[in-house]
Structure 1
Amino acid sequence: MGDLKRLKLIFLKFIYNTSYQICYYVFRPHPKRITFATMRNTQLVDNLKQLYETFEKNGDYELKVFCFHYDRSPKSRLLFFWYSLISVYYIATSHLFIIDDYFFPLYSLKKHRKNIVIQTWHAIGTLKKIGLSLPNAQNSVIKPHTNYDWVVVNTAADRQAYADAFDINRDHVLPLGEPMLDVIAHTQIKLTPKHTKKILYSPTYRQNDSKKVLAAVTALIKAAPELKEDWEIYISIHPYVNMKENLHNLPKNIHLFQDPARVKAMMPTMDAFITDYSSLLLNFSYFERPILLFTPDYQEYVQKQGFYVNYFEYLNAPFFQKAPEMMTFINEKFSQIDLDYVRQLKHKNFPNQDGHNSDRVYQFLTSINRYGEHKI
């Protein structure tokens, strides 16, 4: 890390923490205030949306929403500092501060016990490494993924990985089921025999390497005409990817978008899901339809990011390093795919299929006292 960047982080840490302490002692935490906050979307989606609606329906609370989409563009970088200061105010004045992703300002604070932070995360399962499990993550001036009081995960098998990733006691990692999966549990669309076939492709985000993502997207688009049947192809670009290199003049059957909420909404209508390392494949396993892996940079990704599991062995899904090979597979073998590997993923990652994950999380959170302790 360069000296200039280190000085910048030290400055930000001082400003954020000073602002937080002032807000805490001047405005004090509101015992009924619950803030739902994200820096990955302009509105609440997934876990935060489901939890907000559950709190709104069931209790008498002062609900606040903080949303800022940080996309690493020059404009977003300028606005980030201001919105971070706003978020610090909400942390200082909230009883519960509920987030779903990395939240930079939080990690600068000497947090008080009466401000209780809940990390719900935006993904399920333990595939690619995250948080403090990543190489060199512990070495930053502002240590990431700290100040969490409780972490909500989907299954008991996820607890240790998230405890390590978020530097939190394993007893504070709660396998209550992710609230966003309630939507899936209440949604089941049967595809008619003569429907137009659809593929959803969602490459995972690579920090500071949007070119790698766009190269894979371009390779898939170039190979798509090799498909013999008529397929509609939907390509979801991660919200953090800055689309500097716009893809123009796309074929009519290829649809490109950046909207995490749309991805989840589209899943029930898709015939197949393609990704490299995105945990969205675990969500898609619920529908027991084909999952394919397009992994042209697997060896490099293992070195930079790594996995909690033996990736290909754990998933047991068809995988390809080159897009034309994948198109040939779809042409020749798609209709004969044995979906047992998908059913096994579903069994591992959907222990609760009753549609009441949000209720379980709500019941736990409302039992936390003003010092962050579970009262029951």
Structure 2
Amino acid sequence: MKKKILLGLIALFKAVYGAFYALMKLRPLRRKVVMISRQSNKLRPDFEQIGAEIARRDHTVRIVYLCRETGDTLFERLRYGFHLLNSAAQLSTARVCIVDGYCIPVSMLKHRPELYVIQVWHALGAIKKFGKQSLSAPGGRDREIAEHMDMHRNYDCVLCASRRTAAIYQEAFGVTKDKLRVIGVPRVDAILKMDRSRCRRRFYAAYPELRGKKNVLYVPTFRDGKMPELEPVLREAEQAGVNLIVRLHPLDRERLKKHPEMPPFLECDKFGTFTLMAAADAVITDYSAISIEASLIRKPVYFYVYDLEAYAETRGLNFDPLAEMPYCASKDFGTLLDKILHEPYDFEKLEAFRREFVETCDENNVVRIVDLIFSKLDERLFAAS
């Protein structure tokens, strides 16, 4: 019964939202690029890089950034409702739209043929299954609700950094092969351009007490409905004499306040994840794409997969660390710490892993993306005139 009511409310919302958008589309098109994200309330770094290159080439192109999380409180939800109205209004006169995840106004609304929509996923690849890949899995989205919400619809182009990633995105977004573009993503440029020595200097200037021991960055992926198990890993790190820096998924960091039982841990929150990745001696994750990002700067990557079978069954995996990288994957955290402290790392295998997920390993990813954007701006301009 609750599901039927929810589906009815979704249908009503789509009708009202669509009518509002139809009115907005009566206005003339503009030479405008709109970037929409619900990953953060702050300007997304990928968007910032793209916007800076557009502005450098042609300052007359209008760039609109719309970054807003859905939120949990009533006030945040109301604010997000106004954000949806503003997004529709901005999209109605735009020629190019860029998104970094599922976007209600992009997927639900009926757009002008002149609008070109580009999906720049908010991670460098996909270790775990997501989107339409996981609709039939116990830990995935409800298929009927996802279909009513038009999940991952209306994309004209999906940007990828490798052919393996492209095959994954084709399934996850439900797009045809001709919409996949292996021209790279902005974060490849950002990572390769980092001054790693400077990152380490800044890190130790801010945290001088962390000198003298191995600094290991632990990045567990988001698990719906449950927080990461930190007690055992913190205990193993203390016994091994390692500084364990924990960087939780943004959604888990938001949920921390509701979990006072979580043990205290070292966050080093003066820096972003990429800076910590560059400063650390090694990175441990499970099913997060930070493993791919770390491989770009040849940072030793390890996989702590204590719940591999359960996770594969409930959510699904595109990459099995135990099968594909057994030399640096384990279900035991202590084993990984022992490898970090006492065994040489196999960088040849890490490079093979990197090649699988990042073929566009240069600093021109944003240039290629903006080349595409301008070709579509001009193409759409000609078609509309």
Query: TM class, shorter-chain normalised?
Result: 0.7 to 0.9
Distance verdict in 2 for CA 1:301–1:37, change over 3 Å: same
Native 8 Å contact 1:185 1:355 kept in 2: yes
Gaps of 5+ in 2: 202-210
Structure 2: distance between partners of 1:291 and 1:197: 14
CA change 1:248–1:172 in 2 (3 A) is: closer
Could you say if the C-alpha distance between residues 154 and 72 of structure 1 is closer, same or farther in structure 2, counting changes exceeding 3 Å? farther
- Take 2:19 and 2:144, find their aligned partners in 1: how far apart are those partners? 23
Q: Decide which structure has greater helix share.
A: 2
Q: Which amino acid aligns with 1:185?
A: L
Q: Which residue of the partner structure matches residue 319 of structure 1?
A: 329
Who is 2:41 aligned against? 42
How far did residue 373 of structure 1 move? 10
C-alpha distance in 1, partners of 2:360/2:330? 32
Write the deviation string for residues 78-134 of structure 1: whole angstroms up to 9, x where unpaired.
432222222122222211111111213322212221222111111123422121111
* Residue 103 of structure 2: aligned partner: 103
Residue range with higher mean Cα deviation, 92-101 or 120-129: 120-129
Q: 1:368 aligns with which of 332, 353, 376?
A: 376
Aligned: 1:345 with 2:353: yes
Using structure 2 for the length normalisation, give the TM-score: 0.84
Letter in 1 for 2:264: L
Relative to structure 1, the CA distance from residue 90 to residue 195 in structure 2 (aligned partners, 3 Å threshold; closer, same or farther) is farther
Cα gap change, 1:75 to 1:18, in 2 (>3 Å): same
Determine the structure 2 residue equivalent to 1:131.
131
- Equivalence for 2:154: 147
Match of 2:267 among 255, 275, 283: 255
* Contact persistence 2:128–2:318 (CA under 8 A): yes
Summarize deviations over 1:6-55 as a string: whole Å, max 9, x none: 22222222232222222112x3331x111122111122233212111111
Aligned length: 360
Question: Shift of residue 146 of structure 1?
Answer: 0.4
Amino acid at match of 2:236: A
Question: 1:16 and 2:26 equivalent?
Answer: no
SS at match of 2:229: helix
Equivalents in 1 of 2:217, 2:381: separation in Å? 42
Match of 1:34, SS?
strand
Give % identity. Answer: 19
Partner residue in 1 for 2:3: 2
Q: Is 1:160 matched with 2:167? A: yes
What is the alpha-carbon distance in structure 1 between the residues aligned to residue 158 and residue 283 of structure 2?
28
In 1, distance between residues paired with 2:187 and 2:45? 5
Q: 1:238 aligns with which of 226, 243, 249?
A: 249
Pick one of 235, 238, 243 that aligns with 1:225.
238
- Which residue of structure 2 lines up, in the alignment, with residue 179 of structure 1? 186
**2-structure distance, mates of 1:250, 1:143:** 41
Distance in 2, matches of 1:317 and 1:115, equals 47
* 1:181 to partner: Cα distance: 0.9
Distance 2:173 2:20 in 1: 24
Q: Distance in 2 between matches of 1:234 and 1:277?
A: 17
Q: Structure 2: how far apart are the matches of 1:268 and 1:346?
A: 16
Give yes or no for contact 1:237–1:256 (8 Å, CA) kept in 2: no
Contact 1:216–1:296 (8 Å) recurs in 2:
no
Output one character per residue of 1:193-243: Cα deviation in whole Å (capped at 9) or x when no partner: x76532111111223x2x2xx242343224331122xx4332222122322
Closer, same or farther in 2 for the Cα pair 1:218/1:23, shift >3 Å?
farther
Selected match of 1:205 from 199, 202, 222: 222
Q: Provide, for residues 157-208 of structure 1, a one-character-per-residue CA deviation record: whole Å limited to 9, x for no partner.
A: 322321222122211111001111112222252579x76532111111223x
Q: List alignment gaps of at least 5 residues for structure 1.
A: none
Cα root mean square deviation, aligned: 2.8
**Equivalent runs, 1:256-271 vs 2, <5 Å:** 262-271=272-281
